[in-house]
A and B are shown apart, each in its own frame.
Chain A
Amino acid sequence: DGGITQSPKYLFRKEGQNVTLSCEQNLNHDAMYWYRQDPGQGLRLIYYSQIVNDFQKGDIAEGYSVSREKKESFPLTVTSAQKNPTAFYLCASSHGGNSNQPQHFGDGTRLSIL
């Protein structure tokens, strides 16, 4: 079954620690995205990548970093510079190059601060 796998489902971070959220897709999609979902604020775009070895900042990229070394993988690192990291993080993918393509979402990772 094709889809997007996010891990872990729950993650706890200590103050000052970097943590990495995993996102893998086997849909052969070119484009991948990371969103942060907070109550009452909907989904806000953190980073996106249209092709391997290329990525762009979204609306709230500060305190986050990404890499895209493989087409199927788009890990997100929440750095210690992100002062309010507690949120639900969603990864998505789509066929790239055309804005009429819908996004496919993973089940999300809930990050909390200890």
Chain B
Amino acid sequence: AQSVSQHNHHVILSEAASLELGCNYSYGGTVNLFWYVQYPGQHLQLLLKYFSGDPLVKGIKGFEAEFIKSKFSFNLRKPSVQWSDTAEYFCAVTSLNSGGYQKVTFGTGTKLQVIP
């Protein structure tokens, strides 16, 4: 079965600190990996995605994530956070099941609070 783990439920950082949010998945086949962000009062939106090629992917607002296949991980990073990064971050994995349907699984989310 496909699953996603986000071990950090709530992270508090000061502005300019570096960020790394963990995401681990389990699935035996080919997966595609996503990070979504939900800013306060806004809808979920795509931050970045990986499906092939360079395992280091860059997203919006200076975020990046590295896919490490041997560790089944897709951690999100940002060198220097800003107050405006305060949001909830969700890791997600998708795959095609035997019926050709896209199976999507989300992690439980990490709430990031950045203190000015």
Contacts and interface: CB of A to CB of B under 8 A. Distances in A.
B9 A97 contact: no
A40 B43 contact: no
Contact of A97 (B44, B51, B100): B100
Interface string A40-68: 11111100101000001000000000000
B43 A105 contact: yes
Given A40-B9, A41-B108, A99-B95, A105 B44 contact: yes
B43 A107 contact: yes
B43 A102 contact: no
Interface of A: 31, 33, 35, 40-45, 48, 50, 56, 90, 92, 94, 96-103, 105-108
A102 B34 contact: yes
Question: Which of B95, B100, B101, B105 is most buried by chain A, counting CB atoms within 10 A of its CB?
Answer: B101
Contact of B43 (A44, A98, A108): A108
- Interface residues of chain B: helix, strand, loop or mixed (majority): strand
Contacts of A98: 96, 102
Contacts of A43: 90, 106, 109
A105 B106 CA distance: 13
Given A33-B104, A45-B104, A94-B102, A99 B32 contact: yes
B94 interface: yes
B43 A42 contact: no
Contacts of B45: 105
Contacts of B90: 42-43
Contact of A100 (B9, B94, B103, B106): B94
A99 B108 contact: no
A31 B96 CA distance: 13
Nearest to B9: A40
B63 to A, nearest CB: 14
A18 to B, nearest CB: 26
A56 B96 CA distance: 13
Contacts of B9: 40
